[in-house]
Amino acid sequence: MVNGLRGRRGQMRVVEAIMASLIIVFAIAFINLFAVTPVSPKYESSELEKIGYNVLHDLDEEGLLARFVSNASSAAWVNLTAALAASLPTDVYFNLTVYDVSGKVVNTQSIAYGASRVFTNSTYVASVTYVVPGYQLVYKARILVLQLVRG
Amino acid sequence: MKIRMIRDKRGQFIVIAALLIALMIISATTVMFSAGTYFKHEQWEEYLIVIDGVKAGTANVLKLSLANYTQTSNGSVLKTNLDSWRDAVKNAYSGFGAILGYSLANGSYSAYGMNPINYYLGLNRTWNKPISFSVANATTNLNITSVGLTGYRFTSVVFLKMNITDYALWYSDTNQVGVRVVMYAEGPTMLTNLQKGNFLLFQVNDVDKTQNSTLSRYYESSGHPIKKPTYPALNAYVYELRYSASSKPSSSVNVVVTVRDSRGIQVTGAFNIPADRIIDY
């Protein structure tokens, strides 16, 4: 009889311990659902890269990107700036540099939105590289480097 | 009193064992959670962006090379451009260690129901037929050495097909003949965005009717109101080029149509439409 009681009490403690552990685990998981963690620089940068790539890809699909880049006129850079500003979220600042394959900068004027200090002061700047092979019949590759910062 | 102490001590051992088991379960859960969310900490998005960018760029190289080939007949343009593209990718994504290789379709292959297509250096144009097409085909191999990705292969095909339909239409009220054309791009998807300006040449019995013709566009389904005789609906998006004629043609009509799409890719089709295939609308 005594042995029987001993065993039962021990088992109850086991059950209690397991239940306590489960309550702790569930409590942590539940709190985690509502936790607002600070944005990780890595995640934020990755998110901006995705946005930047999608915008460049969309402009390329519409045939605008290749046209602006191959045109390489002052008006083309202005139009490209306007197209990027219209496509990107308003709180995202950008700076686009167009290079030829030898690494020489092609754009004669700035293709940017936001002050330059925004990029120098920001702790994380996302960078996307996109290559435009040419326009219409002519192969003339241009390497686009788009830097993005959330304001 | 002594019996209770023994009882309590025995129970405590079990509690310790249970706590250890609980600890193990929690540890295992943590490890599994870490393994499951590992991808978030790795820069997969960057690699995917590189791969997507290279794929989109390669497709663009094929498009402009095919446009060049169909307009200038330079048969080696795709090879030349892909050689340059390989170097551009290497320079642009040097930090990733991106290395691009490619092979061009050579010999007989089939694509989008056209069989066989005899490629030379990844290009083919089969023109001046009722079903005419222009096509470019290359297989690309991408390595990203910084993450040990090797042998990522993808095939890019760019395609433009023209089908001059079997039947032409005679409009007795306006004295016009309607020559009907269906256009396809790769996919195969029907091209629906062509305008009159995309039809560079519309020639009827060796007479250029490009300027003196009109273009109407419609989707021909089974409900399309053709008066007689009945014929199977194309179930396709039709471009109809109409030209004026003094009367319904009594002999066959030889038509030549050249189209250049928004990508600059060109195709020329030709068809000698028998008189009995010109039906009253």
Q: Domain segments of chain B: what residues?
A: 44-160, 165-280
Mean pLDDT value of segment B201-211: 95
Beta strands A111-113 and B98-104: pairing type?
unpaired
Question: Are residues A103 and B11, on separate chains, in Cβ contact within 8 Å?
Answer: no
pLDDT of A93 over the 60 cut: yes
Contacts with B, A 9-28, CB within 8 Å: 9-11, 13-14, 17-18, 20-21, 25
Alpha-carbon gap, residue A118 to B217, rounded angstroms: 52
Beta strands B278-280 and B168-171: pairing type?
parallel
pLDDT-wise least confident of A65-69, A115-119, B199-203: A115-119
Which residues of chain A does B19 touch, with a Cβ-Cβ cutoff of 8 Å?
17, 21
Smallest CA–CA separation between A69 and chain B, in Å? 14
Which residues of chain A does B40 touch, with a Cβ-Cβ cutoff of 8 Å?
43
The distance in angstroms from the start CA to the end CA of chain A is 74
| pLDDT at res. A2 | 47
For residue B229, whether the previous peptide bond is cis, meaning omega lies within 30 degrees of 0, is: yes
Q: Which of A46, A101, A74 is nearest to B44 (CA)?
A: A46
pLDDT tens by residue, B160-193: 999 999 889 999 999 999 999 999 999 888 999 9
B146 in A contact zone (CB under 8 Å): no
Q: Does ipTM exceed 0.95?
A: no
Question: Are residues A25 and B89, on separate chains, in Cβ contact within 8 Å?
Answer: no
Q: State the amino acid at position B251 in one-letter form.
A: S
Could you tell me the pLDDT band of residue B91, with boundaries at 50, 70 and 90? Answer: very high
Give helix then strand counts, H and E, for chain A.
5, 4
**Coil, strand, or helix at residue B130?**
coil
Average pLDDT of chain A to the nearest whole number: 85
Alpha-carbon gap, residue B159 to B186, rounded angstroms: 5
Q: Which residue has the higher pLDDT, B37 or B97?
A: B97
pLDDT of B225 over the 60 cut: no
Alpha-carbon gap, residue B259 to B268, rounded angstroms: 6
Alpha-carbon gap, residue B60 to B85, rounded angstroms: 10
Alpha-carbon gap, residue B67 to B61, rounded angstroms: 10
**Coil, strand, or helix at residue B224?**
coil
Question: Are residues A101 and B262, on separate chains, in Cβ contact within 8 Å?
Answer: no
Instruction: Specify the CATH number of the domain B165-280.
Output: 2.60.40
Name the pTM for this structure: 0.80
Average pLDDT of chain B to the nearest whole number: 88
> Least CB-CB distance to A101: which of B13, B87, B262?
B87
Which residues of chain A does B10 touch, with a Cβ-Cβ cutoff of 8 Å?
6, 10
A64 in B contact zone (CB under 8 Å): no
pLDDT tens by residue, B46-72: 888 899 999 999 999 999 999 999 999
Which residues are registered as beta bridge partners of A94?
A113, A148
Domain extents in chain A:
1-36, 41-150
Alpha-carbon gap, residue B266 to B261, rounded angstroms: 7
| pLDDT at res. B7 | 53
Q: What are the distances in angstroms from CA B208 to CA A54, B180, B204?
A: 45, 17, 6
Alpha-carbon gap, residue A148 to A96, rounded angstroms: 9
Which CATH fold topology does A41-150 show?
Beta-Lactamase (3.30.450)
* Residue the block writes with tokens 């642009």: B92
Which residues of chain A does B71 touch, with a Cβ-Cβ cutoff of 8 Å?
137
> Least CB-CB distance to B49: which of A5, A128, A141?
A128
Q: Which of B188, B56, B61, B55 is nearest to B136 (CA)?
A: B61
pLDDT tens by residue, A102-127: 999 999 899 999 888 888 888 888 89
Which residues are registered as beta bridge partners of A130?
A144
Alpha-carbon gap, residue B160 to B168, rounded angstroms: 22
Helix axis angle, A41-61 to B44-72, nearest 10°: 10
Q: Is the dihedral of CA B84, B86, B87, B92 positive or negative?
A: positive
Question: Are residues A103 and B91, on separate chains, in Cβ contact within 8 Å?
Answer: yes
Which residues of chain B does A45 touch, with a Cβ-Cβ cutoff of 8 Å?
none
Contacts with A, B 22-81, CB within 8 Å: 22-23, 25-26, 29, 40-41, 43, 45-46, 49-50, 52-54, 56-57, 60-61, 64-65, 67-68, 71-72, 80-81
Q: State the amino acid at position B97 in one-letter form.
A: G
